[in-house]
Structure 1
Amino acid sequence: MASPDSAASLPPSTKDDVTPISSKIAELNESRSELLTRIQSLKQDLQSWRSKLDTQVKVYRDELSELKKTLNVEVEQLRTEFQDLRTTLQQQQEDVTASLKNLGLQDVTGDVKQTQSQEVKIEEIEKEEHQVLPEVDTVKLDKI
């Protein structure tokens, strides 16, 4: 075994270096512990944030699901109401047509359609005439 004098036999520079190295190792171990504690805390914060976010997403999904159900019910009600309205209008149209036939005016609807068709043709002819006629130069007319 080494005697207590053997430590004294070490060169002086090595003996002086041992103390700062052991204190630096202690500082590094302490820093490592602090970093591990901070990392653990950050992990817990992240897990908490994820949990809150998951809860919020679930709440929003549930709300959207309820809104979707409500919307689907309202759309179905509107479809039913429109179908009822369409049926009512068709029935009224049939009743009016039957009434006109009973009054001897069944050709009135044909006359109205023919009149509308003639009005459209007249408008088309007027447009064509507008395009065919050259524009008159008002300056030349003033000189005449």
Structure 2
Amino acid sequence: MSSPDSTAPSLPLSTKENITPISSKIEELNESRSELLGRIQSLKQDLQGWRSKLDTQVKVYRDELTDLKKTLNVEVEQLRAEFQDLRTTLQQQQEDVTTSLRNLGLQDVSGDVKQAQSQETKTEEIAKEEQPVLHLHEDENTKIAEN
């Protein structure tokens, strides 16, 4: 059999061999960890820079939109005022033409138009009332012819 002394020296040798690769692995892991931490820090800085740029752009766009909105509101108000002026001018011109026609002894043109429209409406109503009567006569004639 083998003596206990012969096995004892072999253990320290294998332990020493295992320790060397482990320490080098730990050193590599520490280096990788440092490198990853550096990358993370760089990415955080990049992200902060992008956020800052984005915030600046958003502020600029908001300011531009506010200015555009103000400009648009001013232009809309100007258009409203111009349309109101046009409306007033047209009404005044219409009144002037009506007054001129009256002074010349002519009837109010708008009254003539309204009168003509009402006569057309009456004519249409009479025509509608007469149509059923015509149909009744036709039906009676048909019945008489059948008998």
TM-score for both structures, normalised by structure 2: 0.69
Q: From the superposition, tell whether residues 109 and 20 of structure 1 become closer, same or farther in structure 2 (CA, over 3 Å).
A: same
1:74 corresponding residue in structure 2: 75
The letter for the 2-side match of 1:90 is Q
Q: How many residues align?
A: 122
Q: CA 1:108–1:72 in structure 2 vs 1: closer, same or farther (change >3 Å)?
A: closer
1:5 paired residue number: none
Unaligned runs of 5+ in 2: 1-7, 128-147
Say whether the 8 Å CA contact 2:101–2:107 is kept in structure 1. yes
| Aligned partner letter, 2:82 | E
| 2:97 is the counterpart of 1:91 | no
TM-score by length of 1: 0.70
- Letter of the structure 1 residue corresponding to residue 42 of structure 2: S
TM-superposition CA deviations, 1:67-119 (whole Å, max 9, x none): 11111111111111111111111111122222222223234322223435666
1:1-144 paired onto structure 2 within 5 Å = 9=9, 11=11, 12-116=13-117
Structure showing greater radius of gyration is: 2
**Cα drift, residue 56 of structure 1:** 1.2
Q: Could you say if the C-alpha distance between residues 107 and 92 of structure 1 is closer, same or farther in structure 2, counting changes exceeding 3 Å?
A: closer
Query: How many percent of aligned residue pairs carry the same amino acid?
Result: 83
Structure 1, gaps ≥5 residues long: 1-7, 126-144
Q: In the superposition, relative to structure 1, how do residues 121 and 43 fare at CA in structure 2: closer, same or farther (>3 Å)?
A: farther
